[in-house]
Amino acid sequence: MSFPQPENNAVVQFAGRNYPRYALQHGIHCVPVDELLTYRPTAVIVGIDIFTGQGHSDEDEDEDEGEDVDPGIEAFIRRRWNLNVRFREDTSSDPLRPETFDLINSRLLSDGIDADRWQSYVRELYALLKPNGWLQMVEIQALFQSDSGRDAPFLSRWWEWYSGKMIQMRKNPRIASQLGTLMTNAGFTDVHYHVSRLPLGSWDPANAQLGMQMRDVVDQMLVDVSLYPFLGLGRMPRAQYDNLIAGARAELRRPELRLYVNVYVPTPFL
């Protein structure tokens, strides 16, 4: 049986942006990769990090500095892998092995993992961890809410389209709120489930700086995660799309709306 895997970094252009060809072919994280060509401070990094507790210090380093070297991870090995395929299907010379890792961090994969893959994905992460290993998952649900109770019609319309296209691509746009259940079903115990309201803009004095930073990130995200799904998949007319994005961005800049999104961070132990 053949399992599709990305073989290279080939890109294609759509609407003047560069996309991974593999992503558009398979409906996986259809987001432009222009930031790989031109650095953009607001780029959000997605993926999965897997750590062992092992590390080493270089014995050739100057030992007279009097500083302790933390024996942590010194380098990353970057690998391409379609997370919709089970890890056990890896036929490479160095596949992931059960009970090997101390820490796994999985983040922002809701538009990359198929809805029917999530439970087996979390179970596989469980199997990869050593006894007493630690898994952290972070997902944002891009449903914009208002602390003031006021309507944000453009952002609401954006979410309707986005969630609809996600479902069309076999994704679950509300998976963030279900992570705790998935972890419990996978065998994790003592699951600590934290939901944070992430303010957008400076309306919350206690988090004004963070709110402004996140507003800028979301401002770009509105386009990055929707351009291909709305125009390419949904066939939305370009003028309608531009009007929707302009209206949504204008609402982000209205502090009286007191907008926020929820960030879900469940952290269990074996």
**Pairing label, strands 129-146, 259-269:** antiparallel
**pLDDT at residue 50, as a whole number:** 62
Residues present in the chain in total: 270
What would the two tokens of residue 18 be? 């560069």
Dihedral over alpha carbons 28, 239, 156, 218 (to 10 degrees): 60
**Beta-carbon count within 10 A of 76 CB:** 9
**Whether the Cβ atoms of residue 37 and residue 89 lie closer than 8 Å to each other:** no
Residue with the two structure tokens 């891009």: 142
List, in sequence order, every beta strand (DSSP E) within the chain. Answer: 11-14, 17-20, 47-51, 101-107, 129-146, 189-199, 259-269
Nearest to 29 by CA among 43, 15, 47: 47
- How far is Cα 33 from Cα 35, in angstroms, rounded to an integer? 5
**pLDDT at residue 269, as a whole number:** 66
**Beta-carbon count within 10 A of 28 CB:** 23
**pLDDT at residue 21, as a whole number:** 85
Under DSSP, the state recorded for 234 is S
Beta-sheet strand order (sheet of 101-107): 47-51, 101-107, 129-146, 259-269, 189-199
Successive 10-residue mean pLDDT values, the chain, 270 residues? 67 87 82 61 50 42 43 54 84 81 90 95 94 91 95 98 97 96 93 93 96 96 96 97 99 98 86
- How far is Cα 251 from Cα 154, in angstroms, rounded to an integer? 7
What would the two tokens of residue 269 be? 């132990």
**Whether the Cβ atoms of residue 49 and residue 104 lie closer than 8 Å to each other:** yes
The model's pTM is 0.81
- How far is Cα 113 from Cα 175, in angstroms, rounded to an integer? 10
**Whether the Cβ atoms of residue 34 and residue 17 lie closer than 8 Å to each other:** yes
**Pairing label, strands 129-146, 101-107:** parallel
**Beta-carbon count within 10 A of 74 CB:** 12
